[in-house]
Structure 1
Amino acid sequence: MISIRNARDDETAILREIGVRAWEQAVAPIGATADMRANAEIAFENFTKSSWLTITVAELDGVVAGWASREGLDETITDFWVDPTLQHQGVGTALLAEVEDEIVRQGFVVARLETHARNTDAVGFFEKNGYSINWLSVAYAPKLDQDVQSVGLSKQLAAEEPATYGPGF
């Protein structure tokens, strides 16, 4: 059974590990070095410790299976990580639905995110869940010594309220 809840401050280690494992899977198509992995571990450690209040956790049968974050508590999903060993079991879909509901409850009508273009598993997942690619950019990544394409995806979650002036207009 999948359950969704807010993160707790005492589980940053498991959130970091899931983030690192999922990050390794995501960057495999563009290459990663041991130094990059070490930097990712530090980044996930710092982020989960400092921003756990922005993290939504998905559990599968009582085991933490993934997490997502909206770092600015706005319409942008900044992190979305599902443990590679627990993918394709509905965890990501349930987690995404909850994050989208949070976005709508907070008054936003569109969800946005970005990833690198060769992260085809993530792009496919989000497209399957109603997201569309709306931009592509290329930037040089010094640590990889290559250009890396990024894509921005978005999904309309609610109808935009028309701008009105005064009552009944």
Structure 2
Amino acid sequence: MTIADHIVVGEVGFAAWQSSDAFKDVELSADVLERTRRAYEIFAGETKGDVWIAELDGKVVGWCARDGAPNYISDLWILPDHQGRGIGNALVLDAIARIKAEGHRTATIHTHGRNAGAIRLYQRCGFVIVWRGTEYSKSMGIDLEKVHLQQSLT
């Protein structure tokens, strides 16, 4: 992945985040929005994990990452105008295959508790909700309703 890809990854991630159901009808302050935008901007360049991108006609339209635990899918972001086309599904299934190939017994993923579209996608990919509650987001600097999902790979 090139430095130019790092920039695009940040732009795609932030655009997808802004379009999600998670913060519909929620007023976020300018400083929260800026912290979040900045977190996406620097993610690809600073992560110690794997990041892979989905391209369509030479354009980055989505990306997935494993940052943190080796069986944890930390990120999945698809450009809003490319959602619903199977790109997210393909990236999640690829991530699961990578995790399974490394010998892990489970795959995990977390999302915002109000991100209904993401929860449906993950459940269609075989994940089940194992926890629902509130967690502090370091990147946003606020508490968020979160859902943890898990899939057995055995």
Q: Cα–Cα, structure 1 residues 98 and 153, in superposed 2: closer, same or farther, change >3 Å?
A: same
SS of aligned partner of 1:98: helix
SS of aligned partner of 1:74: coil
SS of aligned partner of 1:42: helix
Output one character per residue of 1:102-156: Cα deviation in whole Å (capped at 9) or x when no partner.
1011111211011121111111111122111011113578x798x6421110112
Residues 9 and 52, structure 1, Cα contact 8 Å, conserved in 2: no
Unaligned runs of 5+ in 2: none
SS of aligned partner of 2:64: strand
Residues 112 and 154, structure 1, Cα contact 8 Å, conserved in 2: yes
Cα RMSD (Å): 2.3
User: Within 5 A, what are the aligned runs for 1:90-109?
Assistant: 90-109=86-105
Q: Which residue of 2 aligns with 1:165?
A: none
Q: Cα–Cα, structure 1 residues 11 and 132, in superposed 2: closer, same or farther, change >3 Å?
A: same
Q: Which residue of 2 aligns with 1:138?
A: 134
Q: Which residue of 1 aligns with 2:23?
A: 28
| TM-score, structure 2 normalization | 0.85
Per-residue deviation at 1:30?
6.3
Structure 1 stretches of 4+ with a deviation exceeding 6 A read: none
| TM-score, structure 1 normalization | 0.78
Please identify the structure whose Cα radius of gyration is greater.
Answer: 1
Residues 48 and 67, structure 2, Cα contact 8 Å, conserved in 1: no
SS of aligned partner of 1:16: helix
Per-residue deviation at 1:14?
0.7
Q: Cα–Cα, structure 1 residues 138 and 57, in superposed 2: closer, same or farther, change >3 Å?
A: same
Give me the whole-angstrom Cα distance separating, in 1, the residues matched to 2:40 and 2:135.
Answer: 23
Residue identity (%): 29
User: Within 5 A, what are the aligned runs for 1:31-70?
Assistant: 31=26, 32-51=28-47, 54-70=50-66
Give me the whole-angstrom Cα distance separating, in 1, the residues matched to 2:25 and 2:141.
Answer: 8
Give me the whole-angstrom Cα distance separating, in 2, the residues matched to 1:93 and 1:30.
Answer: 27
